[in-house]
Amino acid sequence: MEFDKFVSLLDPKRLEGELNVDIEDIIYDSRKAKPGSLFVCIKGFKTDGHMYIKDAIKSGVSAIVTERWLEDFGSIAQCQVEDSRNALAILSKFLFKDPTSKIQLVGITGTNGKTTTSYLVDSIFRNAGRKTGLIGTVEHKVGDRVFPVERTTPESYDLQKIFKKMVESGVTHAVMEASSHAIDLHRVDGCSFNVLVFTNLSQDHLDYHKSMRKYFLTKKKIFDDYKKTAKVINIDDSYGKEIASNSANVISYGLSKTAMVRAEEIQLHKKGSKFKILTSTSDIDLSINLKGLFNVYNSLAAAGVGLALGFSNEDIKSGIEAVLNISGRFETVDCGQDFSVFVDYAHTPDGLEKLIKAAREITEGRVITVFGCGGDRDKKKRSLMGKIAGELSDYLIITSDNPRSEEPLAIIEEIERGLGKAPFVKYKRIIDRKEAIYYALSLAESGDSVLVAGKGHESGQVFKDKVVPFDDRAVVREALLEMDLC
């Protein structure tokens, strides 16, 4: 297809060169440059695509899209735009023939609960006989095929390419997590959403967004941009209430009496939860395998999606109840020991607080918590998480998470500052995460619960110069085996 057809989709600030060249593919990484490709120069966190245009041209690219005009590149077609990330999304949608317009697509955003809600929605679809796709933190799925994940929401080109695979594979319904980074960096631009979900908002990613208000406005933007799309919103969350009050086509959910989809008669126990979902027309009795009040909320969100898309109560009930566990989300590690062990992805203050409180509700003995904070991420939440863990746990082990380029001990010391506000906490700091997990398990007695928080489903630990294999669940099983508890 000729370059001028691609350009017609954009609003160029300046356009020169041979516009009738054929374009066969789009790239945003100069190392993938080849004849017939269009190179879109985007600014990354660590580098800038504009720096590699000469390399791309040497490899034969046929045209370039830039944010700043670049001289001395001969007759190659060059299109200058205001925002090259937005351009990449628009062009990718066109290249792959607008795949999301051919499926029912659900987008889920919020600080916590995105992954679990996406699996619950996917299960409703599958149990109703639909062929599904899923894009999220743990994995990407096209039908029954599973693909590895680099980031929660892929770059727009890769995202549209995945959706094209879904269409070609006969997928009719898909669900994706939409991170705040993805919204702000235009990765989801060009997607046709049938339903958008807002789960909640609490402190996270302030290293990127700088303030809670900016973080919120980024999340809110997707609801503002898709005015006609059905919106399933948690109105027990103050930010959700603000979005709902400024949106049309809202299905609200929560525990409050004003929610359109709400839960009553809630019973929380070790094996899961029982509750009744009330809607304006009917009730749904649920008995689920997922533990904790936060999973009641996640179930309500999924039910709201089902209702928005016209699924029956039977489809919603069977779909939600079919989910036995979610990888690394309040996941039980049971080797027959007489105490409970849970591995969870909780890495925000709100997530950690909800996790420990959920464990407290189903624990007869003590709650022993192991956690750390990731390096090169929001530093402001570290002492707050220390305070929460210290106040709510009976015993606390502070350890390393994914330190990345930071010194693990320095991160731990920042977490410790929060313990001054929880002066009676019993705790120990152990930098080595494996040693910390072993120590926590050695403390556990009959009826206790051990929480290993922060990494959840992850299979590696990220350091400055390497990633080492590390799975909290595998380490727990290894330790229990060595302790002759398996």
Q: What is the pLDDT of residues 407-425, one digit of tens each?
A: 999 999 999 999 987 667 7
Residue 51, phi then psi, degrees to nearest 5: -75, -15
Q: What is the CATH number of domain 331-482?
A: 3.90.190.20
| Residue segments in the chain with a per-residue pLDDT below the cut of 70 | 422-423
Q: What is the pLDDT of residues 373-382, one digit of tens each?
A: 999 999 999 9
Distance between terminal CA atoms of the chain? 61
Residue with tokens 């590690």: 333
Instruction: Please give the structure tokens belonging to residue 190.
Output: 């060009």
What is the predicted pLDDT for the residue at 208?
Answer: 84
Q: What is the pLDDT of residues 320-347, one digit of tens each?
A: 999 999 999 999 999 999 999 999 999 9
Q: Which CATH architecture has domain 3-95?
A: 3-Layer(aba) Sandwich (3.40)
Residue identified by tokens 């003995």 is 365
pLDDT given at position 422: 67
Per the listing, tokens 């403390």 go with 443
Q: What is the DSSP string of 19-78?
A: TT-B--EEESSGGG--TTEEEE--B-SS-BGGGGHHHHHHTT--EEEESS-----TT-EE
Please give the pLDDT value at position 74: 76
Name the burial class of residue 221, with classes exposed (0-12), middle (13-18) and buried (19+) by CB atoms within 10 angstroms of its CB. middle
Q: Which strands form 395-398's sheet, in the order they lie side by side?
A: 331-332, 340-344, 449-453, 367-371, 395-398, 427-429
3-95 and 99-321 agree in CATH topology = no
The domain locations on the chain are 3-95, 99-321, 331-482
- Does the pTM of the predicted model rise above 0.85? yes
pLDDT score at 61: 94
Cα 212 to Cα 431: distance, rounded to the nearest angstrom: 30
CATH class for domain 99-321? alpha beta
Tell whether the torsion through CA atoms of 155, 194, 180 and 183 is positive or negative.
positive
